């Protein structure tokens, strides 16, 4: 299936209309750009600029704990010697960051002091130590720095890391908690995908799964409770019920503080349990051995790619499964995460498809699989006029 047909069948006419350029054309253009990306006379200092950009969601996002139709976001640009790197901070309200907090944090940074942009450790240690928390704000700098450096090197990051793009996994398509009519509409949209992620934690959990099983009997599903299950015996029953319905794993079944209950469930559950809301940064992972079977890494939690790569390594050393996910984000941050995807077991990188006002062309999903393109940096190109 070509990309235009894929987008049309995925119900993404709006996105297709906004991006009438084929990926081949984008790749060719980017290859050409590889030799001309550098404008003459650029400053040999890192220059950071940014602006707020509210993400408009195509469907209301209903989770066990809240619902919303927009996500606050800040788009970042990092310039050096005529090259431009793009980054972003996405701030779902439950994570505690806002346009104001990210603006304050980014304004506090003096990146001009760094004359060599390849000093990733120096630059990101400085950013991290500037203030605690501010994870999405820190991620926006990390992502823009990676885009910038990849462009200077003329290579995409999955290549710089030595990864085989053929090993990128399928990505799941998320179906939220909603009315039967909306669930049916979203299952139709999910048809090009090979894995469906079902949001759970309210009273219609089983009904939603039954609708999916009726419409797409063979597709594997995974479940994200977003801390919504309140009773461990019920959770164990649900894990057995889901196992019989071709479910691969359960994400964040209980409140993030329920460590003992989660360990209890893990001992008995026929399905692996994956941590999401329970952790943010690298040091958090060590205490999960024996509590969860795996972790869901997101760049807005990990402060970006640099730490996310270390998280993958640590989780593997602990014999844990690794999933890479995202918030609602433009193709900028989603494609950044996709560069790491050849290293992971599961990917949930559909955040860009959930918004109506993307600003970039980036990684694509072909036959349900994450497809990385040979474009320097993160592998993104701005959509003209956005
Ligand atoms: Mg989750």
Three-point CA angle 37, 38, 40, nearest 5°: 140
Distance 60 CA to ligand 1 centre (A): 17
Give a yes or no: residue 136 inside a domain: yes
pLDDT tier, 24 (very low <50, low <70, confident <90, very high otherwise): low
User: Mean of the pLDDT values across residues 276-282?
Assistant: 95
Distance 298 CA to ligand 1 centre (A): 9
Distance 86 CA to ligand 1 centre (A): 25
pLDDT at site 50: 98
pLDDT tier, 59 (very low <50, low <70, confident <90, very high otherwise): confident
Give a yes or no: residue 277 inside a domain: yes
Residue 21 has pLDDT above 50, yes or no: no
Distance 252 CA to ligand 1 centre (A): 7
Percentage above 70 pLDDT, the chain: 88
User: Mean of the pLDDT values across residues 238-266?
Assistant: 97
Same domain? For 87 and 110 the reply is yes
Q: What is the DSSP track for 236-270?
A: HHHHHHHHTTTEEEEE--S-TT-HHHHHHHHHH-S
Distance 63 CA to ligand 1 centre (A): 10
Residue 252 has pLDDT above 90, yes or no: yes
Give a yes or no: residue 18 inside a domain: no
Give a yes or no: residue 133 inside a domain: yes
Distance 42 CA to ligand 1 centre (A): 41
Distance 65 CA to ligand 1 centre (A): 12
Is the Cβ–Cβ distance between 295 and 316 less than 8 Å?
no
Same domain? For 118 and 173 the reply is no
Distance 276 CA to ligand 1 centre (A): 5
pLDDT tier, 386 (very low <50, low <70, confident <90, very high otherwise): confident
Same domain? For 226 and 333 the reply is yes
Give a yes or no: residue 3 inside a domain: no
Distance 61 CA to ligand 1 centre (A): 13
Give a yes or no: residue 14 inside a domain: no
Residue 30 has pLDDT above 90, yes or no: no
The token duo for 160 is 């710089």
Last residue of a domain, one of 99, 130, 158: 158
34 or 327: whose pLDDT is higher? Answer: 327
Last residue of a domain, one of 139, 158, 177: 158
pLDDT in tens, 65-102: 667 899 999 999 999 999 999 999 999 988 899 999 99
- CATH of residue 124's domain is 3.30.390.10
Same domain? For 207 and 339 the reply is yes
pLDDT at site 174: 87
Rounded Cα gap, residues 277 and 301, in angstroms: 9
Distance 324 CA to ligand 1 centre (A): 10
Percentage above 90 pLDDT, the chain: 77
- Domain range for 360 is 160-382
Same domain? For 171 and 65 the reply is no
Distance 241 CA to ligand 1 centre (A): 20
Same domain? For 190 and 234 the reply is yes
Same domain? For 29 and 49 the reply is yes
User: Mean of the pLDDT values across residues 13-38?
Assistant: 46
Distance 201 CA to ligand 1 centre (A): 12
Same domain? For 141 and 166 the reply is no
Count how many domains the chain has: 2
Same domain? For 154 and 173 the reply is no
- CATH of residue 283's domain is 3.20.20.120
- Kind and range of the H or E element at 378? none
pLDDT tier, 177 (very low <50, low <70, confident <90, very high otherwise): confident
Residue 13 has pLDDT above 50, yes or no: no
The 3-class secondary structure across 29-89, one letter per residue, is: HHHHHHHHCCCCCCCCCCEEEEEECCEEEEEEEECCCCEEEEECEEEEEEEECCEEEEEEE
- In this structure, the number of other CB atoms found within 10 A of the CB of residue 25 comes to 12
Same domain? For 169 and 143 the reply is no
Q: Spell out which residues have Cβ within 5 A of ligand 1, the ion.
A: 224, 251, 276
Give a yes or no: residue 1 inside a domain: no
pLDDT tier, 326 (very low <50, low <70, confident <90, very high otherwise): very high
CA end-to-end distance (rounded Å), the chain: 27
Distance 160 CA to ligand 1 centre (A): 29
Give a yes or no: residue 174 inside a domain: yes
Distance 357 CA to ligand 1 centre (A): 23
Last residue of a domain, one of 108, 138, 158: 158
Distance 21 CA to ligand 1 centre (A): 32
* Selection from 86, 26, 14 nearest residue 56 by Cα: 14
Q: Which residue is it, tokens 């640590």?
A: 314
Same domain? For 137 and 39 the reply is yes
pLDDT at site 94: 82
pLDDT tier, 20 (very low <50, low <70, confident <90, very high otherwise): very low
Residue 14 has pLDDT above 80, yes or no: no
Same domain? For 187 and 140 the reply is no
Distance 251 CA to ligand 1 centre (A): 6
């Amino acid at each position: 299936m070509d990309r235009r047909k894929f987008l049309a069948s995925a119900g993404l006419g709006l996105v297709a209309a906004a991006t009438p350029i084929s990926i081949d054309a984008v790749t060719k253009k980017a290859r050409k750009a590889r030799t001309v990306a550098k404008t003459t006379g650029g400053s040999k200092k890192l220059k950071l600029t940014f602006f707020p950009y509210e993400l408009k969601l195509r469907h209301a996002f209903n989770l066990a704990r809240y619902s919303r139709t927009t996500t606050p976001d800040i788009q970042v640009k990092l310039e050096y010697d005529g090259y431009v790197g793009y980054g972003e901070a996405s701030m779902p309200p439950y994570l505690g960051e806002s346009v104001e907090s990210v603006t304050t944090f980014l304004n506090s940074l003096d990146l001009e002091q760094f004359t060599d942009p390849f000093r990733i450790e120096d630059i990101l240690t400085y950013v991290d130590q500037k203030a605690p928390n501010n994870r999405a704000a820190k991620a926006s700098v990390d992502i823009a720095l990676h885009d910038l450096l990849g462009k200077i090197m003329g290579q995409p990051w999955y290549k710089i890391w030595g990864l085989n793009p053929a090993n990128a996994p399928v990505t799941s398509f998320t179906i939220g908690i909603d009315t039967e009519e909306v669930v049916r509409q979203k299952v139709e949209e999910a048809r090009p995908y090979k894995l469906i992620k079902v949001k759970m934690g309210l009273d219609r959990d089983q009904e939603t799964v039954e609708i999916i099983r009726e419409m797409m009997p063979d597709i594997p599903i995974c479940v994200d409770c977003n801390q919504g299950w309140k009773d461990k015996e019920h959770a164990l029953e649900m894990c057995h019920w889901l196992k019989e319905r071709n479910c691969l794993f359960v994400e964040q079944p209980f409140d993030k503080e329920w460590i003992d209950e989660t360990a209890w469930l893990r001992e008995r559950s026929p399905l692996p349990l994956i941590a999401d809301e329970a952790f943010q940064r690298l040091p958090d992972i060590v205490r999960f051995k024996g509590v969860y079977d795996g972790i869901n890494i997101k760049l807005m939690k990990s402060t970006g790619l640099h730490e996310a790569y270390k998280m993958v390594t640590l989780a593997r050393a602990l014999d844990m499964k690794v999933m890479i996910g995202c918030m609602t984000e433009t193709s900028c941050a989603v494609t950044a995460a996709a560069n790491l995807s050849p290293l992971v077991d599961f990917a949930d990188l559909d955040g860009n498809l959930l918004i109506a006002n993307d600003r970039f062309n980036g990684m694509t999903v072909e036959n349900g699989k994450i497809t990385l393109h040979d474009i320097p940096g993160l592998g993104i190109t701005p959509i003209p006029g956005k």
